[in-house]
Amino acid sequence: MNILQEIAQRTKERIIEEKRSEIISKARSMPVGDFTFEKALKTNDIAFICEAKKASPSKGIIAENFPYLQIAKDYEKAGAAAISVLTEPFYFKGADEYLREIADVVKIPLLRKDFTIDEYMIYEAKILGASAVLLICSILGQSVIAEYIKIADSLGLSSLVEVHDEHEVEMALSAGARIVGVNNRNLKTFEVDITLSERLRKLVPKDIIFVAESGIKTREDVQKLRDFGADAALIGEALMKGAKLEWLR
């Protein structure tokens, strides 16, 4: 079992314990969102999704001191298009409270960064204040992704569909993804190859929002993304370790 499968299994166990029937009915009764996440990524230049992340399986604790509300405010002030908030508690030390509280202090859209393995988590994301959810091809089949996109759409939430190879790009597009994100990190080996985004970009139609994820650390990296036509970059570790968004522009 690789780390992604391990996290997915742990998430299944976690959600079984967390499920509350009133969450679904409450989410459905809320005003339908207007897909602010994907709208925010449609710019004339590359858009930045900045990540609030305390830890990761590959790096361990990234930010011992984690003033997540101030981090979110700083991202918004620096011009981030959106913020990715980790809510997975065991491997990334995230929390639902981070998302809920950040939603109260910023106006830009939020991505719930978690390992969606149950439709319940989409309704939960709505309640927590997210504008988008993450759907990972490596742990969800094409039919499930298509179903989850429809559920998210019914709530006005965007779906960032994450891929890692050519087959998964085809899967995401066939499932109806409007946003495709390429994770440059191999979750089996943790190796990062930023050229993966460049190779897979050629397979994604121009009318689909293309997001490059992981391994983006310098202004030169961002320029490479511009050169091959990425619409957005999801940046976490570099910013959590002190890089400034202004440095990357």
Torsion of CA 173, 227, 51, 206, to 10 degrees: -20
- Is 213 considered catalytic here? yes
Distance CA 187, CA 184 (A): 9
Tell me the per-residue pLDDT of 192-243, one tens digit each, with 9 for 90 and over: 999 999 999 999 999 999 999 999 999 999 999 999 999 999 999 889 888 8
Q: What DSSP letter does each residue of 81-111 carry, written as one string?
A: SEEEEE---SSS---HHHHHHHHHH--S-EE
Tell me the per-residue pLDDT of 129-159, one tens digit each, with 9 for 90 and over: 999 999 999 999 999 999 999 999 999 999 9
What is the pTM assigned to this prediction? 0.96
CATH architecture of 3-9+40-248: Alpha-Beta Barrel (3.20)
Query: Average per-residue pLDDT in the chain?
Result: 95
Q: Catalytic residue among 54, 93, 113, 126, which?
A: 113
Q: Residue 224 corresponds to which tokens in the numbers above?
A: 């490479």
Q: Residue 108 corresponds to which tokens in the numbers above?
A: 């830009």
The answer to whether the beta carbons of residues 231 and 47 sit under 8 Å apart is yes
Q: Catalytic residue among 183, 197, 198, 217, which?
A: 183
Cα angle for residues 219, 173, 156 (degrees, 5° grid): 85
Domain ranges of the chain: 3-9+40-248
- Is 183 considered catalytic here? yes
Question: Is the pLDDT reported for residue 41 higher than 90?
Answer: yes
- Is 26 considered catalytic here? no
Q: Catalytic residue among 76, 88, 198, 213, which?
A: 213
Categorize the per-residue pLDDT at 57 as very low, low, confident or very high, splitting at 50, 70 and 90. Answer: confident
Burial of 72 (0-12, 13-18, 19+ CB in 10 A): buried
Closest by Cα among 127, 124, 160 to 40: 160
Q: Is 206 left (phi over 0), alpha (psi -120 to 50) or beta?
A: alpha
Categorize the per-residue pLDDT at 39 as very low, low, confident or very high, splitting at 50, 70 and 90. Answer: very high
- Is 158 considered catalytic here? no
- Is 51 considered catalytic here? yes
- Is 113 considered catalytic here? yes
